[in-house]
Amino acid sequence: MIIRLVTTLPEFFDKPLSAGVVGKGINAGRLHIEIINLRDYTDDKHRSTDDYPFGGGAGMVMLPEPIFKAVRHIKREDPDAKFYLTSPKGKRFDQKTALTLSRQKSITFFCGRYEGVDERVRPLFDEELSIGDFVLSGGEIAALAMVDAVARLIPGVLGNQESILEESFMGPILEYPQYTRPRVFEGKKVPDILLSGNHKKIMRYRRLEALRRTRDRRPDLYAAAVLTEDELSLIKERSL
Ligand code: SAH
């Protein structure tokens, strides 16, 4: 898969893409990342990418021309490319979107800066994506978050594909609590059942804890979850 990041701050991506799961994906040849400097698509000597907003108001707005040029260039080189504009006004990025993106051959994220982009560039993009209801000072961090979420879903990037299936949000409920060594830490014991070796009991315990967490922390997800007969009887049995 090819991921392109169009930015005015290419140095932003120097380190974070070479570490961890994304770096592993690159080294394994599953993922190719290209950083594109928007300033390479400017003509003036200052390599400007922004200007004052028509109608007044605070801050600067990103010029449409360099964005058009960069996107057209990528489209010519790679007709399969899908384009995503990072924006707090976009559709909320979630695990389902990450899965959809991970199945594309080529995706490009455009990282905004200043007050955002000139409205006329919007039709260039397949979708506008937001990582949450807060305002960042640029799209780079948003793009990094999305690249990370997408990269780990590309087959062959994570060692253990099973861990993906059990994770929070892949199903409609949150993940169960996890423990590792030591068995007792500062007086707190790992639940006995996890040491029992009884896989069926462990599975039921985890499912119950996952449901409990979801109900307590994310009542919206809990209300929307379609539970199996077995889960319903588990809840009744333990009066969750
Ligand atoms: N004035 C704009 C905010 C611009 S923030 C507004 O009120 O909507 C500058 C840039 O940061 C945006 O163009 C976008 O690329 C990025 N950005 C900020 N918050 C974001 C978020 N929640 N999700 C994704 N990108 C975001």
Question: Is residue 170 pLDDT above 70, yes or no?
Answer: no
> For residue 17, what are the CA distances in angstroms to 92, 143, 146?
23, 11, 12
Give yes or no: residues 23 and 98 share one domain: yes
pLDDT at 237: 82
pLDDT at 234: 80
Pocket test for ligand 1, best of 5, 85, 87 (most atoms within 8 A of CB): 87
Question: Is residue 167 pLDDT above 80, yes or no?
Answer: no
DSSP the chain: -EEEEEES-GGGGTTTTTSHHHHHHHHTTS-EEEEEEGGGG--STT---EEPPTT--SS-EE-HHHHHHHHHHHHHH-TT-EEEEEEEEEEEP-HHHHHHHHTSSEEEEE---TT-B-GGGGGG-SEEEESSSS--S-HHHHHHHHHHHHHTTSTTTSS-HHHHHHSTTTSSSPPPP---S-SEETTEEPPGGGGS--HHHHHHHHHHHHHHHHHHH-HHHHHH----HHHHHHHHHTT-
Residue 41 maps to a domain? yes
Residue 166 maps to a domain? no
Question: Is residue 160 pLDDT above 80, yes or no?
Answer: no
Q: Which of these ranges, 82-96, 111-125, 186-200, 213-227, has the smallest mean pLDDT?
A: 213-227
Question: Is residue 162 pLDDT above 70, yes or no?
Answer: no
The ligand 1 site (C-beta within 6 Å) comprises 86-89, 111-113, 115-116, 130-132, 134-136, 138-139, 142
Question: Structural domain tally of the chain?
Answer: 2
Q: If you average pLDDT over residues 93-112, what whole number do you get?
A: 97
Q: Which of these ranges, 28-42, 49-63, 171-185, has the smallest mean pLDDT?
A: 171-185
Residue 223 maps to a domain? yes
Write phi, then psi, for 87 (nearest 5 degrees): -165, 135
Q: What percent of the chain has pLDDT over 90?
A: 86
Give yes or no: residues 203 and 90 share one domain: no
Question: Is residue 132 pLDDT above 90, yes or no?
Answer: yes
- The enclosing domain of 67 has a CATH number of 3.40.1280.10
Beta bridge partners of 110: 6, 85
Residue 39 maps to a domain? yes
Give yes or no: residues 71 and 125 share one domain: yes
Query: Given pLDDT bands bounded at 50, 70 and 90, which one contains residue 240?
Result: low
Question: Is residue 120 pLDDT above 70, yes or no?
Answer: yes
Give yes or no: residues 191 and 147 share one domain: no
Give yes or no: residues 214 and 150 share one domain: no
Distance from C-alpha of 206 to C-alpha of 209, rounded to nearest angstrom: 5
Question: Mind listing the pLDDT tens digit for each residue in 180-237?
Answer: 999 999 999 999 999 999 999 999 999 999 999 999 999 999 998 888 888 888 888 8
Question: Is residue 81 pLDDT above 90, yes or no?
Answer: yes
Distance from C-alpha of 4 to C-alpha of 13, rounded to nearest angstrom: 11
Residue 167 maps to a domain? no
Q: What percent of the chain has pLDDT over 70?
A: 96
User: Among 161, 196, 214, which residue terminates a domain?
Assistant: 161
**Other C-beta atoms lying within 10 Å of the C-beta of residue 112:** 26
Taking the CA of residue 89 as reference, the ligand 1 atom at the shortest distance is: 8
Distance from C-alpha of 142 to C-alpha of 105, rounded to nearest angstrom: 20
Taking the CA of residue 130 as reference, the ligand 1 atom at the shortest distance is: 23
pLDDT at 227: 85
Q: Compute the mean pLDDT over every residue in the chain, rounded to the nearest whole number.
A: 94
Question: Is residue 164 pLDDT above 90, yes or no?
Answer: no
User: Among 142, 161, 180, which residue terminates a domain?
Assistant: 161
Give yes or no: residues 202 and 86 share one domain: no
Q: Which domain holds residue 148?
A: 2-161
Q: If you average pLDDT over residues 52-61, what whole number do you get?
A: 97
User: Among 161, 190, 220, which residue terminates a domain?
Assistant: 161
DSSP 18-84: TSHHHHHHHHTTS-EEEEEEGGGG--STT---EEPPTT--SS-EE-HHHHHHHHHHHHHH-TT-EEE
pLDDT at 85: 98
Residue 21 maps to a domain? yes
Question: Is residue 125 pLDDT above 80, yes or no?
Answer: yes
Question: Is residue 171 pLDDT above 90, yes or no?
Answer: no
Pocket test for ligand 1, best of 128, 135, 140 (most atoms within 8 A of CB): 135
- Calculate how far, in angstroms, residue 40's C-alpha sits from the geometric centre of ligand 1: 22
